[in-house]
Amino acid sequence: MSGASSKTFAVAITGASGAIYAVRTLRALLADGHHVHLIMSKYGRYVMHEEQGWQADSESILDFLTRVGGDEIRNGTMDEHNVNDLTRAISSGSAPCDGMVVVPCSAKSLSSIAHGSSSNLIERTADVTLKERRPLVLVVRETPMNLIQLRNMVTVAEAGAAVVPAMPAFYQKPVTFEDLGDFIAGRILGLLGLDHELFTRWTGGGGDGT
């Protein structure tokens, strides 16, 4: 898919466990021909290396995604932005953007977004996404959660964000890590208003559950 149906999304990767959710989301968006503004925090980059084997020193993120996802990644396009560069166009509401996902979203970035800190490009772009009333999806990952984190999730939900805890379902009978990743990626794409075939939708059971 590309051309008239192609949209533009901001994708932020922060330093929580669950880099596979970012990889599966990026693969799906790019394979479908969308344009991605990618922003990674320092610890987001670290976890991508630790969990997904991205060799950041010798390999661009686009080359890594192509290595693991194949050439269909090149259906889409991507700009990578420095998390500390607040001069980028996406830090303004006047830049065209159809929504944003922070995947995975650390408790620290959740807190900053909940309180409108805008102290780096991820926080600022999330702030802009909320003020422009565009879809903002936060894939929060921490366990257990303290009261501060729980309250921060309420705050962002009240401000209009969708909180998608990194909690894949098991009724899909996942076999691989990729199946788990695709479940969360599919929920993200749905919230961004995109159709997908990343998992089979539940169509109801055959009995009364007893």
Measured between alpha carbons, how far is residue 154 from residues 104, 133, 157, 167, 180 in Å?
18, 17, 5, 17, 25
When the beta carbons of 152 and 185 are compared against ligand FMN, the nearer one is: 152
DSSP class of residue 151 equals H
User: With binding defined as CB under 6 A, does residue 109 bind ligand FMN?
Assistant: yes
Q: Which residue is nearest to ligand FMN (CB)?
A: 15
CB of 40 to ligand FMN, least distance (A): 8
User: With binding defined as CB under 6 A, does residue 16 bind ligand FMN?
Assistant: yes
Which of 12-20, 60-68, 89-97, 171-179 is the region at the interface with ligand FMN (rule: CB under 6 A)? Answer: 12-20
List 7, 9, 10, 15, residue binding ligand FMN (CB under 6 A) = 15
Measured between alpha carbons, how far is residue 33 from residues 6, 18, 30, 65, 206 in Å?
6, 24, 5, 14, 38
The helix/strand/coil state of 34 is coil
User: With binding defined as CB under 6 A, does residue 85 bind ligand FMN?
Assistant: no
User: With binding defined as CB under 6 A, does residue 121 bind ligand FMN?
Assistant: no
Which of 58-66, 101-109, 157-165, 199-207 is the region at the interface with ligand FMN (rule: CB under 6 A)? Answer: 101-109
DSSP class of residue 132 equals T
Distance CA 98, CA 145 (A): 30
DSSP class of residue 5 equals G
Q: What's the burial of 165, exposed, middle or buried (CB within 10 Å: 0-12/13-18/19+)?
A: middle
Distance CA 193, CA 137 (A): 11
Which of 14-22, 28-36, 93-101, 179-187 is the region at the interface with ligand FMN (rule: CB under 6 A)? Answer: 14-22
**Dihedral (CA of 63, 121, 103, 197) sign:** negative
When the beta carbons of 31 and 83 are compared against ligand FMN, the nearer one is: 83
**Binding-residue pattern over the window 125 to 154 for ligand FMN, x denoting contact by CB under 6 A:** ----------------xx------------
φ/ψ (deg, to 5) at 168: -65, 150
The residues in 39-68 that bind ligand FMN, with binding defined as CB under 6 A, are 41, 43-44, 46-47, 50
Binding site for ligand FMN (CB under 6 A): 14-17, 41, 43-44, 46-47, 50, 106-109, 141-142
